[in-house]
Amino acid sequence: MTNVYIEGIGMTKFGKFVDKSMKQLLVEASIEALEDAGNPKVDAVFVGNFMGGSIGNQEILSALVANELGLGYIPTAKVEGACASGGIALRQGIIGILSGEYDTVLIAGVEKMKHASTADVTQAINAAMDNDSNEKQAGLTFPGFFGVLANRYFYETEATKEHLAMIALKNRENALNNPLAQFQKPTTMEEIMEARIITSPLGLFDCSPTTDGAAALVITRKKGAIHIRSSAQSSGPTQMQDADDLLSLPAVRESGRLAYEKAGVGPEDIDVVEIHDCFSMTEMLAIEELGFFNKREGWLAVEQGRTKATGDKPVNTSGGLLSRGHPIGATGVAQMYQLVQQLRGTAPNQVEHARLALAQNLGGTGSYSTVHILERL
């Protein structure tokens, strides 16, 4: 129990915004979250961001927010944890409140990626790997890591590329109902299966897109309707060749275990889930690591439709990273945006009577993972 509550949420549409600066996106989402919370006094700001410096030449993001919004001379910081930057920013805010230092904290996440070329973005994302290694020199990429995992998963189970396609299709179908999602064009199994290969066996639809966007939250110690029941974070191997079990993401497993323990609930109690599906294969492993399904059996649950919005364990009702979009630093915060809506009863693909919700945010090739469990009071 953290006794920290989410009071306000905000999010820009995800997509391509050539005419908007990173600062603009960040400020828009923040204003929306502050207004949703009734414009409280804010004691600190944490911003999740990954490549603002490398491809946008823009740092000092958290000071920009405080300044643009007239929040005063309060402490602020940018938090970097690759694709888990948003989840870790949220966790830093929670810890700040738990410590007694702050009453109310503004959390935001942002990324602006669409202006850069695919090669440059791939290069920048590779900063989330251990680059002082023979592994990097071999030419392994970030998507490549999950391609290697997928081929091994197919080898050890009866899963095929079609099961990954089912995940991609499910998340696209969910995104069709989410007005803020990047992809709102329907697709088919056929189109997904025949799309060009990025890194075998993963095709275009198995990989999250590059995205511009921002999301924000106001968290506070003042009791409200949405309680952050637990917050947990773990690290994992930073190189593929050092994985003890290639088909395990220890950071996901451990952060999940800690979050359940702190919340006093188990995977069976969770009503709705946002998972870090940077690749279709990542969702497959995460639903197993978080204990929703047995190891090496996630594909069966996918085949049976159990993770659809209408299934018994709805995963990524927002459309996930694959179809809602993945502005890296904003993703962990955007997951919260969707789950708070689910608990308020106002979400796209609303799950009936949702009371407990779980978000898992991954950084690097399994280097970081955060898990937050929310509860409707």
Partner 1 sequence: MKVYQCDQCEYASVSNKYRCPSCRTGQLQEQDVSSKGSVYSYTNIHIAPAEFAHLAPYTVALIQLDESKAKVTARTDGNVEIGDVAELDYVEDGAYIYRKC
Active site residue 83: yes
Q: Which of 139, 185, 190, 310 binds partner 1 (CB under 8 A)?
A: 139
Round to whole Å and give the CA distance between 245 and 282.
15
Q: Does 149 bind partner 1 (CB under 8 A)?
A: yes
262 Cβ contact list (under 8 Å, min separation 6): 1, 229, 230, 231, 232, 373
Residues 260/267, Cβ–Cβ less than 8 Å: yes
Residues 316/283, Cβ–Cβ less than 8 Å: yes
Which amino acid type is present at position 218?
V
The distance of closest approach from Cβ of residue 134 to partner 1 in the complex, given in angstroms and rounded to an integer, is 6
- Give me the catalytic one of 83, 163, 227, 276: 83
Q: Does 184 bind partner 1 (CB under 8 A)?
A: no
- Give me the catalytic one of 163, 326, 353, 372: 326
CA distances 52 to 81, 124, 192, 315, 361, Å, are 13, 10, 31, 29, 19
Q: Does 161 bind partner 1 (CB under 8 A)?
A: no
Residues 93/44, Cβ–Cβ less than 8 Å: yes
Q: Does 189 bind partner 1 (CB under 8 A)?
A: no
Q: Point out which span in 102-110, 143-151, 178-186, 289-297 binds partner 1 (CB under 8 A).
A: 143-151
Q: Does 241 bind partner 1 (CB under 8 A)?
A: yes
Active site residue 326: yes
Q: Which is nearer to partner 1, 244 or 352 (CB)?
A: 244
Q: Which is nearer to partner 1, 318 or 367 (CB)?
A: 367
Q: Which is nearer to partner 1, 139 or 179 (CB)?
A: 139
The distance of closest approach from Cβ of residue 111 to partner 1 in the complex, given in angstroms and rounded to an integer, is 18
Q: Does 118 bind partner 1 (CB under 8 A)?
A: yes
Round to whole Å and give the CA distance between 327 and 280.
17
323 Cβ contact list (under 8 Å, min separation 6): 168, 171, 172, 174, 175, 181, 182, 183
Round to whole Å and give the CA distance between 302 and 166.
7
Q: Which of 151, 157, 187, 350 binds partner 1 (CB under 8 A)?
A: 151
Residue numbers of the site for partner 1 (CB under 8 A)?
118-120, 122-123, 126, 133-135, 137-141, 143-144, 147-152, 155, 196-202, 239-244, 246
